[in-house]
């Protein structure tokens, strides 16, 4: 049998690592080619890692919640054949191997009588006890070693790993040079998820009737991003009311024909996105990001589209090069990203590279809002609910009161680099494009 190294695949230009959230297979399970082996999560998207080959899962190198780098081996799969597939070449210093083997031999040979481990409720093999005594590993330390054997028992490899990491002269060589497939030698420790130095206490219900639920992983990330954004950017808002009567009438007139011809539903979102992309071309000062004391002027206009997930969390897929899309192309991009977001099929790259974000708070009936900037961008636009309202209509014959379809645009921008003139002019330009919408245009 040969071993195939299952590695964390590249998931996008800016994605360097992922967190393992669930193993779908366990050691000994058969695996078909292209079958999902585990689930992972980046800072935005959850996805699955499939196997490139058929075989049997022989070894799992990381646990749930471990953070893994792109390209790092995460498991081994036994396949038919006689060579190791995609196994990385390791230069194993002979001195490092000999030093570890010497540690084992010395520990076993020097023990003349068994150490008393009767105070421990755990089972330890004679060899493990001998090594523990020789290396002055206390019972408390031994009990805290995560055993990889059956029922969590500490194996020879486990204690050797612990001992080797305590030796200054061996630790660095062993961690960087000893490969994981070398038996009878301590394996390098797997990277662990960093733990907070101060452990957060679990709140207690005062009356006993309150339900206490820990945030899920994505909600914790969102919470951190929102707080960080408010602490980073000097948020300021501009609001403007827009008459979108022509847009509403046009959509009502063409939506059936649009769906029949294009196979896509026509919502208001692509129309608004089209106007935002045009305004960003007119005001490139809004299509920037900030890094320290430097401003990065973005070449492409990539519109983030905030979308609510079924579990209540939020995700922001990105429409790349939005200014190059016509209305049909925009509608297809909006529907594709929105549909895949709902069923959890977004790819990591789908959420990367945004230069400006739009969020539709009107979906839930909100008239306007004060959205938080999606860092490191400098602006975000909230689309309010479209409402029928009485309005003054100016005509050559005089003014009169009529029923119009109106909405509010709420623009949050970073006052560190965007002043009121630019922030206000930008959202006014979006409003102008929407109010000048041609009700007789084709789609």
DSSP 114-130: ----TT-SS---HHHHH
Residue 6's contacts (CB-CB under 8 Å, 6 or more residues apart) are 37, 49, 51, 52, 73, 74, 75, 76, 77
Report residue 259: phi and psi, to 5°. Answer: -65, -35
Report CA 314 to chain centroid distance, whole Å. Answer: 11
pLDDT at 208: 74
Q: Which of 64, 54, 305 is nearest to 192 (CA)?
A: 64
Report CA 344 to chain centroid distance, whole Å. Answer: 12
Residue ranges in the chain modelled with pLDDT below 70: 1, 12-14, 43-44, 81-121, 123, 126, 150-151, 166-200
pLDDT at 334: 96
pLDDT at 126: 64
355 close to 289: Cβ distance less than 8 angstroms: yes
Give CA–CA dist 269/383, Å, rounded. 9
pTM of the model: 0.64
pLDDT at 101: 54
Residues with a catalytic annotation lie at: 415, 419
Q: Quick one: how many helices (H) and strands (E) in the chain?
A: 10, 19
Residue 256 pairs in a beta bridge with: none
Residue 218's contacts (CB-CB under 8 Å, 6 or more residues apart) are 41, 46, 311, 313
pLDDT at 107: 45
Q: Which two tokens stand for residue 338?
A: 């929105």
pLDDT at 70: 87
Packing angle, helices 269-282 and 327-342, rounded to 10: 120
Give CA–CA dist 179/177, Å, rounded. 6
């Amino acid at each position: 049998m040969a071993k195939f190294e299952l590695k964390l695949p590249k998931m996008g230009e800016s994605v360097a690592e992922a967190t393992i959230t669930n193993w779908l297979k366990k050691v000994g399970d058969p695996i078909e080619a292209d079958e999902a082996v585990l689930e992972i999560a980046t800072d935005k998207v959850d996805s699955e890692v499939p196997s490139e080959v058929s075989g049997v899962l022989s070894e799992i190198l990381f646990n749930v919640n471990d953070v893994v780098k792109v390209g790092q081996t995460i498991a081994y799969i036994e396949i038919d054949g006689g060579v190791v597939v995609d196994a990385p070449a390791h230069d194993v210093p002979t001195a490092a191997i000999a030093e570890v083997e010497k540690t084992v031999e010395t520990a076993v040979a020097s023990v003349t009588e068994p150490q008393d481990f009767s105070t421990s409720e755990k089972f330890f093999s004679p060899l493990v006890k001998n090594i523990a005594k020789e290396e002055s590993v206390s019972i408390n330390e031994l009990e805290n070693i995560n055993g990889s054997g059956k029922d969590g028992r500490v194996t020879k490899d486990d204690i050797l790993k612990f001992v080797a990491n305590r030796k200054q002269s061996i630790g660095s060589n062993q961690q960087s040079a000893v490969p994981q497939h070398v038996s009878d030698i301590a394996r390098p420790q797997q990277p662990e998820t960093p733990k907070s130095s101060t452990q957060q206490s679990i709140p207690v219900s005062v009356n006993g009737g309150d339900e206490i639920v820990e945030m899920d992983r994505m909600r914790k990330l969102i919470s951190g991003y929102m707080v960080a954004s408010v602490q980073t950017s000097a948020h300021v808002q501009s609001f403007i009311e827009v008459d979108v009567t022509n847009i509403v009438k046009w959509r009502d007139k063409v939506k059936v024909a649009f769906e029949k011809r294009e196979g896509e539903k026509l919502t208001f979102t692509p129309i608004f996105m089209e106007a935002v992309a045009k305004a960003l071309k007119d005001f490139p000062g809004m299509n920037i990001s900030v890094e320290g004391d430097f401003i990065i002027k973005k070449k492409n206009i990539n519109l983030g589209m905030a979308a609510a997930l079924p579990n209540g969390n939020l995700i922001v897929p990105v429409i790349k090069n939005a200014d190059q899309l016509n209305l049909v192309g925009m509608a297809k991009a909006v529907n594709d990203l929105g549909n895949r977001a709902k069923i959890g099929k977004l790819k990591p790259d789908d959420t990367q590279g945004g230069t400006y974000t739009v969020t539709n708070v009107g979906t839930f009936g909100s008239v306007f809002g004060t959205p938080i900037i999606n860092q490191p961008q400098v602006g975000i636009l909230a689309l309010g609910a479209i409402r029928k309202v009485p309005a003054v209509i100016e005509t050559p014959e005089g003014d009169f009161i009529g029923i119009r379809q109106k909405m509010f645009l709420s623009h949050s921008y970073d006052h560190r680099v965007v002043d009121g003139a630019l922030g206000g002019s930008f959202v006014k330009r979006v409003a102008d494009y929407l109010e000048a919408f041609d009700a007789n245009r084709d789609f």
